[in-house]
Amino acid sequence: MTLDPKDLAARLYTAVLSDVLDEMGHMNQALRSFVRPLDDGFVMCGFARTGLYRPVYAVEPGRNPYEIEMDLVDGLKPGEVCVLACGGPTERIAPWGELLTTAAWVRGAAGCLTDGLVRDVRRIREIGFPVFCGGIGPLDTKGRAEMAAMDVAVEVAGVRIEPGDLIFGDADGCVAIPHAIAQEAVGRALEKVSAENRTRDALLEGTSLREVFERFGVL
Residue ranges at the known binding site for substrate = 97-100, 119
Helices (H), 45-115: 67-74, 98-106
Q: Is the separation of the CB atoms in 112 and 73 below 8 Å? A: no
Residues placed in the known binding site: 97-100, 119-120
CA distance 186 to 184: 6
Task: Give per-residue burial for 11-43: e unless 16+ CB within 10 Å, then b.
Answer: ebbbbbbbebbeeeebeebbbeeebbbbeeebb
**186-to-14, 36, 171 alpha-carbon distances in Å:** 11, 22, 19
**99-to-23, 82, 95, 105 alpha-carbon distances in Å:** 40, 14, 11, 10
| Residue 49, φ and ψ in degrees, nearest 5 | -120, 120
Residues placed in the known binding site for Mg(2+): 120
Burial class (CB in 10 A: 0-12, 13-18, 19+), 95: buried
Count how many Cα atoms sit within 13 Å of the Cα of residue 137 in the half-sphere of its side chain: 18
| Residue 81, φ and ψ in degrees, nearest 5 | -110, 130
